[in-house]
Structure 1
């Protein structure tokens, strides 16, 4: 299939998104694909800032959530990008790979939560309580939001067959 919405090049960047050119929106193919819907990409920016940069989960926990969500979604794009980010954070290969299998310790709790959201569409009360005790209630909210955020991106990426960015694919 040839995508009806391939990543938009700089030369074809929408005029209504001119102020976003050069920022996060043109940094990755996923956002270049979303630029086919300028209003959505613009609305996405604030949520992206919170989920990606300002989450109560912190960088490492966020990456663990995203890795598990990418695995559960079957999103090769998100998996590749977040393996790269996890490595940049200094995460061991075994820890990264465990998010596709059965991790241990707090990582297992995170995987259990992501799995519950995919399988049950909610966090059961007992799991939410364990999570809140381990990582804090605001982090639980951010875990839920992160799974939803990356599930939505996964749907877009897989629908439009967005290619993994060259620097990540290499």
Structure 2
């Protein structure tokens, strides 16, 4: 069981509207969203601060950043949901999916700009900043708006990873699982 029970229907009207707007038709609201609904203020801020709409990065670039961030932080719940909803849309095959979790930033399966994104995520997770070498590579591939979006995505999904792990959310039944059942460098959630 999660540490805080997810909200159940009927939801307050503003929560119901946000959940309906966020989820694809026929897919139940995520446990994460229903748990966050226990605090309408945080729920509202979380949805207001979301970065899933079209931004300065392509959908594929955004998913590279999100998947690597959540994998590096051991947030199997969020990583698995993103893989389930977006991996096929952005053309991630099994090799790339596994590489978001276990591969080095410079794995051959990634394009040059994707390698830069992975290295940037790794720097932010490991060092909580971007070193000069990683910054130079980032600036060679991305403009200022894109760089700010990369940093914001890593920070936002760091928070989401904290929520998923600290709340001990059960994994969604349809979501992907980490390859080999674990993520190196981070203690992962157990399959519930």
TM-score normalised according to structure 1 size: 0.85
Identify which of 144, 148, 154 aligns with 2:151: 144
Alpha carbons of 1:19 and 1:79: their partners in 2 closer, same or farther (altered >3 Å)?
closer
Contact 2:19/2:33, CA 8 A, preserved across alignment: no
Higher helix share: 1
The equivalent of 2:31 in structure 1 is 29
Structure 1 unaligned blocks of 5 or more: none
**Does structure 1 residue 92 correspond to structure 2 residue 99?**
no
Distance 1:15 1:117 in 2: 38
How far did residue 169 of structure 1 move? 5.7
Alpha carbons of 1:95 and 1:74: their partners in 2 closer, same or farther (altered >3 Å)?
same
Aligned length: 166
The equivalent of 2:189 in structure 1 is none
The equivalent of 1:70 in structure 2 is 70
The equivalent of 2:8 in structure 1 is 9
More off after superposition, 86-95 vs 141-150: 86-95
Distance 1:128 1:169 in 2: 32
Q: Which runs of 4+ in 1 moved over 6 A?
A: none
How far did residue 45 of structure 1 move? 1.8
Alpha carbons of 1:168 and 1:64: their partners in 2 closer, same or farther (altered >3 Å)?
same
**Does structure 1 residue 157 correspond to structure 2 residue 164?**
yes
TM-score normalised according to structure 2 size: 0.76
How far did residue 93 of structure 1 move? 1.8
Distance 1:92 1:64 in 2: 13
